[in-house]
Amino acid sequence: MPPTAATARLAAGEPPINFASHQFRAGNMAGARDDFEQMLAALIASVHPGARAIAANPGDWGIDILLGELSGLVVIWQSKYFWPLVGRASQAQIRESFDSALRAAEHNGYQLDRWVLCVPSSMDPATARWWDRWRARRQRETGVVIECWHETVLREMLMRPDAAHVRRHYYDPYAPVALPARPLHDLGRETFEDALFVRQLRAAGHAEVEGAKHEYFNAELLVRDIHDKGVRAELDALGEANGVARGIWEARFNEIAAARPGDPLLAGLHAAVMGEIRESGAFPVALAAGRVHRCGLMHRIVQDRRAGWVRDWRAIAAGHVEEAAA
């Protein structure tokens, strides 16, 4: 079987297209939405040279990217950065975006010929069924062609020669300009032996925990520095990073707990979570945090009694509080 375009490019050394990189480039989800929309404008212009972005001032008439004249027949692309999937919560936004585009066309005297929803992910089964039914019904009612450019369609388009410049700019791993990582500091006299995050690690059977202490200590210094300076962008980035770390832990905990119902220690949970945190591209650039700091943020979450490394982690956290109060 001959290689596909995707495998040929991977064999040539080109990096895979990861739409989570918009979060890495922008530093937060709000910025990722704007970055994804800008990518779409460049991608669509490479396929349809006359296409252009429409700025919101104050509204955008339900248009993110437009092909045609706003006095005749137009094609509209609607950008929605739904991540990591398109689920039930997204359905209302999709309906409202399409209805808004229809209302604006009627009010401003142009005709909507084609409406394209662009998303960086895929629909779950229930939403895919809803989309098929909704799309068919609304096409019949309005005469407008409705399409969805999901992650598979967008990747195929980005691998075309005409879109090579877009791919390089947005998805080359060396393209984002990251801030220098914060320096690391030694523990010094700190031991943390009585800390809850150490107790949770011991409960999971970890004999060596010095690396974890080093991670926690450096994350503590990072958090103190951010709060002392009070820079809004860094505070927002810290909140985003904590959410990313806890989301990774929760997904892995649920997965391993369900797969091993008889295992109280949930062997492999810590390694899986920390491995994903080290390699994740979803942490905000504005945090300027390296792998040690990011893992330390996860230990801080455990220390705050919001996670743990064994099935009965809540009981360990509660016992720690009782002992501290005694």
Residue type, 162: D
Q: Residue-wise over 125-136: b if at least 16 C-beta within 10 A, else e?
A: eebeebbeebbe
C-alpha–C-alpha distance, residues 195 and 236, integer Å: 27
Query: What is the chain's mean pLDDT, rounded?
Result: 88
**Range of lowest pLDDT (42-46, 184-188, 205-209, 295-299):** 184-188
Rounded-to-integer distance, Cα 175 and Cα 183, Å = 23
**Residue 109: Cβ-neighbour burial (10 angstroms; 0-12, 13-18, 19+):** exposed
The answer to whether the bond into 84 is cis (omega within 30° of 0) is yes
Contact yes or no for 325/308 (Cβ under 8 A): no
> Would you state the pLDDT for residue 14?
64
The region of weakest confidence among 22-26, 42-46, 146-150, 238-242 is 22-26
How many Å apart are CA 202 and CA 181, to the nearest integer? 30
Portion of the chain with pLDDT greater than 70, in percent: 91
Task: Count how many residues are written for the chain.
Answer: 326
What is the distance between the alpha carbons of residues 20 and 25, in angstroms, rounded to a whole number? 9
Q: Which of 145, 152, 169 has its CA nearest to residue 45?
A: 169
- What are the domain boundaries of the chain? 13-171, 196-325
What is the per-residue pLDDT across 15-61, written as a single tens digit (0 to 9) for each?
Answer: 789 999 888 877 788 888 999 999 999 999 988 888 888 877 656 68
Q: What is the pLDDT of residue 60?
A: 60
Fold of 13-171: Trna Endonuclease; Chain: A, domain 1 (3.40.1350)
Tally of CB atoms within 10 A around 169: 13
Confidence of residue 230 (pLDDT cuts 50, 70, 90): confident
> Averaged over 175-193, what is the pLDDT?
72
